[in-house]
Amino acid sequence: MEISQTDMAAIWLTLRLASTVTLLLLLIGTPMAWWLSQTRSKLKAPIAAFLALPLILPPTVIGFYLLVAMAPDGVLGQLTNGLGLGSLAFSFWGLVLASMIYSLPFVVQPLHNAFEAIGARPLEVAATLRATPIDRFFSVVMPLAKPGFISAAILGFAHTVGEFGVVLMIGGNIPYKTQVISVKIYEHVELFEYEQAHYLSVLMMGFSFVVLLGLYLLRGTKTKFGMRF
């Protein structure tokens, strides 16, 4: 069987989406996780709980609120229209935003755990060796939290690849634009194209297994980090 052009497009779109989301999430998730690991604020628990909401909320709830916000009279809609960007709904960047919210806890939590596992001592040592706070972060925290970063990147990427509900609600099912693998499988099944559905599903199974295997092997190393499933 030959893989169809739209299947191929769905695979590439999925990879592009997941890479973009992972990269952006690492950028914004790192300061968030760092703040959570260092703060003594009373707001820590409520904020941590809020950031973890996507772990248990039905994707449709996130999708619903995002759609409302992205509508022309919604908060995000007004903002993007005002900036001349048009609507985020049913666009690639709309998907990116939705996926970031949906996958946020999968990036923040392993980083948070990794940062907490480092403890205060290495940072204190660095301070006595003249390292400024920013220098300490890059020269001590980043290298010591490396397994946490790897774990966060893998989980964020994999979770974005695996999402369905939010994508369907925000992106719809537009080939080449918002049609990712999970949605494409859904479409194949609806049209009774079981062979194509199998093809993509096996791909996803293989991918997911490799990701989890990688994580478990990584966790086998002596450094403590990551999510507890």
Partner 1 sequence: MKTRKIIAKFKHQTERGGFCLDVDLALPTQGVSAIFGRSGAGKTSLLRAMAGLDRIANGVMQLGDEIWQNGAGFTPTHKRRIGYIFQEASLFSHLNAGENLAYAQKRAWRVEGDGAADFDMLVELLGIGGLLKRHPDQLSGGERQRVAIARALLVNPNLLLMDEPLAALDIERKNEILSYLERLRNEIKIPIIYVSHSIDEVARLADHMVVLHEGKVVAQGALAAVLSRLDLPLKLGQDIGVVIEAEITERDEKWHLARAVFNGGELWIADENDTIGVAIRMRILARDVSLAKQKIDGDSSILNGLSVEIIDIKPDEHAAMLLVQLRLGEQVLIARITAKSAAQLALEIGDDVWALVKSVSVIR
Q: Which residues bind partner 1 (CB under 8 A)?
A: 121-122, 124-133, 135, 139-140, 143-144, 146
CA-nearest of 214, 229, 220, 63 to 153 is 214
Tokens of 55: 């772990």
Please state the closest distance from residue 4 (CB atom) to partner 1, in A: 47
Of 84 and 133, which CB lies nearer to partner 1 in the complex structure? Answer: 133
Give whichever of 71 and 131 is closer to partner 1, judged by the CB atom.
131
How many helical (H) and strand (E) elements, i.e. helices and strands, does the chain have?
Answer: 12, 0
Least distance (Å) from partner 1 to the CB of residue 127? 4
Which of the 8 DSSP states describes residue 71? S
In angstroms, give the least distance from the CB of 187 to partner 1. Answer: 47
Provide the minimum distance between the beta carbon of 122 and partner 1 in the complex, in angstroms, as a whole number: 6
Closer CB to partner 1, 20 or 139, in the complex: 139
3-state SS, 73-108, equals CCHHHHHHHHCCCCCCCCCHHHHHHHHHHHHHHHHH
Q: Which is nearer to partner 1, 54 or 147 (CB)?
A: 147
CB of 12 to partner 1, least distance (A): 36
Say how far apart CA 185 and CA 201 lie, in whole Å.
7
76 or 118: CB nearest partner 1: 118
On whether the CB atoms of residues 179 and 13 are closer than 8 A, the answer is yes
